Structure 1
Amino acid sequence: MENKDLLEEAKKYGFTQDNQVWLKPFMNFPARQVGDVKEVEDESLQYFAFRFQTFQEKVNALLEKISTSENKGSFLMKVLHLKELVEKYDAIGDFEAIYHQLTQAENEIKVAISKNRDKNLTTKITLIEEAEALQESIDWKETTEKLKELRQNWIKTGPIDKALTDEIEDRFKNAVEVFFKRKKDFYQDKQSLLNRTLDKYKALIAESEALKNSEEWEETTKKLKDLQNRWKEVGGNLPRKTSTELWNTFRKAHNYFFERLKNKITVTKTESKDRFFEDNLNKKKQLVAEAQGLLQLNTHEAVKQAKELQAAWKKVGPVKGEESDRVWEQFIIACDKVFEVSSLEHFMRKKYPNADRNNHVEQVHNRINALRDFIKSDKQELEVLETNLGKLSSAPNNDAFRTMIQGKIKNFNRKIKTKTELIELFKSKLNKEVTG
């Protein structure tokens, strides 16, 4: 703009008085002094008109950015700041036009903000619903990753109406915290269980160490075998390295005692010893016979007597190797059948609470099907163990672990055999009922 035009523009919106430069009143704003006349009045007016041009350029630049930006809300404070300057910026010009420009921009931004906040609210409600749907999940790893992703999406989502912010934020936070508290409690319980399991194994090791030098051969043998049974019953899921180290320590104490027993028997081998073993074998055969007849009793009584027979078995002394394994296998399978039937009946009562309304044939079929499912599960476990055993190197330091796996494989084979024989027993009874 030429100086002449600039001066005319300045006189249109400003004036000088008493050696001062004034901006004329506009809208609801009164006239105000914007500066002083330095030397020449017209030049002073031109100077402040030029300052207005600079201010106008700043406003135009902001409005241009707003018009091309997707995030218009980020410019609201800048617009409000320029509106505040309208009433105090030292310049002469059409501040009213600028005020209206900025007001229009402010309104447009607020509309955009409102729309964005509605959109953000919809997004956040969706994220809340997704988080709430995951609250009760037990897939700890996958759900943790999903909730972390939801958190990132939540952070990336813009603000919503302030009146709803606290409520929405709390609802999302609570949904996420419910899961992570459950996860924390789960792993704390798991660790507590592992600690209890570890303490049980250590207690059995301490008892074994205390017995390994005993001269009470018969009594100590029974105690150590009892400790071995208790070891098997502990279970738990300790880390493989820890489990192996504990087992090696436990087995070392037992091996030490039984090696001493073996040497004792070799050195002092007599006819009385042979009779001792023979008597024990006969006692155990009698216990086997009694155990094999338990399935003729009702389940509750059979379980009770099976436990009594197991206690009696522990009081019987050792039997020679092959006979010991054979009679023990017979005895444990007979007892296992009792306990399997007890577990089966418990399962049937839970799965078929109104099963007594069904006919007997259907009840038997249900039991056979349940046993088949149990066998399928056992075989899957067995396959994993056999795979692990096949992968185990022949290195001597793997002997203890190999023995443990082989023991578990033997137990699962026995379980499968027991359940298979029970199926055949049920089938036999069923055929007798159908043909009879």
Structure 2
Amino acid sequence: MSESTIKEYPEISEFGYIKDGKVYLKGYFEFKDRELGVVRESDEESMRYFVNRYEMVKKKLEDVKNSVVEAENKGSYLMKLIHMRTYLAQYNGLGDFIVLFNEINELEDEINAYIEKNREKNYEIKTALLEEANSLKGSTDWKNASNKFKELKLKWIKTGSAHKEVDDRLTDDFNNALDYFFQRRKSFFDEQTKIQNERFMRYRKLVYQIENINKAGSDPEKKQFVKNLQREWKNVGNLPIKKIKRLQITFKKELDKYFNSLKYSVSIRDKSAIEIKRDLLNGVSDMLKMDGSKVNINEIKQVQDNWKKLGKQTNHQEDKELNLRFRIVCNELFETYFLEKSTKYFHPDIYKRSLPDQARLRIVVLKESIKKDEQELEDFQKKHAFVLAQGMRSSSNMNIFQQRNNFVNKLKTKGRILEKLEQVIQS
């Protein structure tokens, strides 16, 4: 090796040398002298090559140091430093590797100090979270406590490890508090589900009992028993409205059916069938005087059932007239009921308006309905024009005349309702 080479690269004599055409790095720490490579072209070029490689790895370590300074999670660089040590021990470069190893040691010490500080901070955070979890685990405010536990769990996950000797114990205690609360909550709702199922079955049984009473006929001697069913219904207990609504509607319908049947059930020995029919007709006629929103469709159906039970009185001239009037009144009640439902659907605030305004809204809906019925009647008559024109009333086409009459009667009924509504506006 020439003297000029030593002068240009003074570090060569300190950190390495050339021997027998090969470049060597001097041993340091527990490492012995190590061959880096063979001399190519000249000693100077070979030395320059390995010195430059040292500068490259030195720059790489400097980049790691800068990354650690900027990093939020500095602890993640510990493994990188371990790999860096292994890398340096085998790296082919010429320079002061002791300085690089010392820089790694210092950096590792800084990171460990940072980790220790963070673990102390994490210990304080997790201790506070555990105390809050223990204070909540006995709560019966299921909704709010559940939401709070979810927040605590999220904070716990985001918090890093505490001191190794206590972190597992803190985690176990925290999870035990969560498990204790959610197991209690599960037991509570399981019991509530059981109670609700039992109540639901009791409600179903009551509906079944009143239905059987009505199927057997409205026995006045069952009146007290039915009243007992009413009382029992009130004492069963609460259920979510979605779960009980259908049963509630059915039960009320069956109660109305029973008591309406009793109301109109008069012994033939005390009154004739004609007298009973007069009473029933007067009852439904009075319903026409009521506000349309108060029409009880189930009550009307029950009255119709009672009327059918009386049958036709063929030996009485008044019976035919009563039957016709009864049918006309019932038809008007049904149409009034459906008109009310339709108008309320399109105008939910109808009852907040004045009576004339309410009548106007009903008229608009009714006229649209009449227009539709007139079109259906016209289409029907065109379709069956030949039969209707010929007046063929054989058993095979009697149904056609009946359907035509139904269309006509419906339009007449709606016409009567329209006249009454127009009178409301004029008055």
Q: What TM-score range do you get, normalising by the shorter chain?
A: 0.5 to 0.7
Query: Contact 1:208–1:250 (CA<8 Å) still a contact in 2?
Result: yes
SS in 2 for 1:25: coil
Change (3 A) 1:65 1:213: closer
Q: Which residue in the other structure is 1:146 paired with?
A: 148
Q: CA deviation at 1:161?
A: 2.8
1:224 alignment counterpart = 226
Counterpart position of 1:240? 241
- Amino acid aligned to 2:43: E
Structure 2 counterpart of 1:112 = 114
Q: How far apart are 1:145 and its partner, in Å?
A: 1.6
Q: CA deviation at 1:269?
A: 4.2
Number of residue pairs the alignment of both structures matches: 271
* Mapping 1:342-353, distance limit 5 Å: none
Amino acid at match of 1:131: A
- For 2:148, give the aligned amino acid: K
Using the size of structure 1 for normalisation, the TM-score is: 0.58
CA gap of 1:163–1:131, structure 2 versus 1, over 3 A, is same
- Report if the CA contact (8 A) 1:15-1:23 is conserved: yes
Structure 2 unaligned segments of length 5 or more: list them: 272-347, 352-427
Task: Return closer, same or farther for 1:200/1:190 CA change in 2, 3 Å cut-off.
Answer: same
**1:31, CA displacement in angstroms?**
1.2
Aligned equivalent of 1:163: 165
What is the CA deviation profile of residues 400-422 of structure 1, one whole-angstrom value per residue up to 9, with x for unaligned ones?
Answer: xxxxxxxxxxxxxxxxxxxxxxx
Q: CA deviation at 1:191?
A: 1.7
- 1:95-147 deviation per Cα after TM superposition (whole angstroms, max 9, x unaligned): 01111111111112111111111111111111111111100111112112211
Using a 3 Å threshold, how does the CA distance of structure 1 residues 394 and 198 change in structure 2: closer, same or farther?
A: farther
The structure-2 alpha-carbon separation of the partners of 1:56 and 1:36, relative to structure 1 and needing over 3 Å to count, comes to: same
Q: Quote the residue 1:128 is aligned against.
A: 130
Describe the SS at the equivalent of 1:73.
helix
Task: Give the distance between the partners of 1:44 and 1:111, measured in 2 at CA.
Answer: 42
Matched, 1:251 2:252: yes
Specify the alignment match of 1:85 in structure 2: 87
Alpha-carbon distance, 1:8 to partner: 2.5
**Cross-structure match for 1:7:** 9
Cα distance change of structure 1 residues 20 and 222 upon mapping to structure 2, 3 Å threshold: same
Q: Distance in 2 between matches of 1:168 and 1:88?
A: 43
Contact persistence 1:6–1:50 (CA under 8 A): no
The DSSP-based 3-state class of the residue aligned with 1:255 is helix
**Partners in 2 of 1:258 and 1:33 — Cα distance?**
112
| Whole-Å separation in 2 of the counterparts to 1:5 and 1:158 | 54
Q: Deviations over 1:312-352 (max 9, x none)?
A: xxxxxxxxxxxxxxxxxxxxxxxxxxxxxxxxxxxxxxxxx
Map 1:250-399 onto structure 2 (within 5 A). Answer: 250-265=251-266, 267-269=268-270
Q: Measure how far apart 1:263 and its partner are.
A: 2.3
Structure 1 SS opposite 2:266: helix
Give the Å deviation of 1:23: 0.8
- Note the C-alpha offset of 1:213: 3.0
Partner of 2:43: 41
Query: How far apart are residue 166 of structure 1 and its match?
Result: 2.2
Cα RMSD for the two superposed structures: 2.4
2: CA distance between counterparts of 1:393 and 1:231? 33
Identity, in percent, stands at 34
Q: Choose 1 or 2 for highest CA Rg.
A: 2
Q: CA deviation at 1:67?
A: 3.6
- Decide whether aligned partners of structure 1 residues 263 and 44 sit closer, same or farther in structure 2, where only a CA change above 3 A counts: same
AA partner of residue 115 (structure 2): I
Equivalent position SS for 1:151 = helix
**Between 133-142 and 8-17, the greater mean CA deviation after superposition:** 8-17
SS state at 2:244 partner: helix
Structure 2 distance, partners of 1:394, 1:210, is 39
- How many angstroms does 1:216 deviate by? 7.2
Shift of 1:177: 1.7
TM-fit CA distance, 1:92: 1.0
Structure 1 gap ranges (5+): 271-391, 396-436
Counterpart selection for 1:191 from 182, 193, 214:
193
Tell me if structure 2 keeps the 8 A contact 1:208–1:224: yes
Structure 1 residue 35 displacement after superposition:
2.2
Cα distance in structure 1, aligned partners of 2:8 and 2:247: 96
Q: Secondary structure at the match of 2:9?
A: helix
Contact 2:6-2:13 within 8 A present in 1 as well: no
1:190 Cα deviation from its structure 2 partner: 1.5
Q: SS of 1:39's equivalent?
A: coil
**1:165 counterpart letter in structure 2:** D
Structure 1 partner of 2:105 = 103
Instruction: Specify the alignment match of 2:21 in structure 1.
Output: 19
Q: Following TM superposition, by how much is the alpha carbon of 1:89 offset from its aligned partner in structure 2, in angstroms?
A: 0.9
Distance in 2 between the 1:182 and 1:33 partners?
Answer: 71
Amino acid at match of 2:186: K
Deviation track 1:339-389 (CA, whole Å, cap 9, x = no partner) reads xxxxxxxxxxxxxxxxxxxxxxxxxxxxxxxxxxxxxxxxxxxxxxxxxxx
Q: What is the TM-score when the length of structure 2 is the normalising length?
A: 0.59
**In structure 1, distance between residues paired with 2:197 and 2:213:** 25
Please, which of 58, 61, 85 is the counterpart of residue 59 of structure 1? 61
Residue 393 of structure 1: how far off its partner (Å): 8.4
SS in 1 for 2:210: helix
Instruction: Give the Cα–Cα distance (whole angstroms) in 2 for the partners of residues 5 and 164 of structure 1.
Output: 59
Deviation of 1:257 after TM superposition, in Å, equals 2.3
Residue equivalent to 2:212? 210
Return 206-215 or 10-19, whichever deviates more: 10-19
Which residue does the alignment assign to 1:181? 183
Tell me if structure 2 keeps the 8 A contact 1:131–1:175.
Answer: yes
Task: Find the aligned partners of 1:43 and 1:11 in 2 and give their Cα distance.
Answer: 16
